[in-house]
Amino acid sequence: MSLSVQERKRLAEEWVKHARGKMDNVIVHVGCLSLEDSKDLAAHAASCGADAISSVSPSFLKPSSQGWGLPDFKNIMSLISGIDLGPPRLPLMANWKPEHHENVRAELKRLGLM
């Protein structure tokens, strides 16, 4: 990422502030190479009023299985409530298919994390 965590937080705040009433949803991408930074950004997105977060696991290489991201999503979503999980920004690079997204969301809902 070209922006620091603090810069990304300020940018999320501005998007949420200026998008209200103009856009249907604000989805904040919280993916980082550090899971701790992703969790920090997710908690901040929820606290500043984002409608959803989006993330990829801390790897940009195409994974070999569809179950690769669930542990990270559980870890991130366990910190926040009342916020949705949007699709990743680059789904093809992440081997992320629409049905995988729905399966992850269903599992997170089953666990009470969404």
| pLDDT tens string 101-114 | 778 788 888 888 77
The total number of structural domains in the chain stands at 1
Domain hosting residue 11, numbered range: 5-110
Closest CA to 83 of 55, 47, 32: 47
CATH of the domain at 14: 3.20.20.70
Flag whether pLDDT at 92 surpasses 60.
no
Any idea which of 6-15, 36-45, 81-90, 91-100 has the lowest mean pLDDT?
A: 91-100
**How far is Cα 73 from Cα 55, in angstroms, rounded to an integer?**
8
Confidence of residue 61 (pLDDT cuts 50, 70, 90): low
Residue 85, SS3 per DSSP: strand
C-alpha of 16 from chain center = 15
Given a cut of 90, whether residue 97 has pLDDT beyond it is no
Coil, helix or strand for 27?
Answer: strand
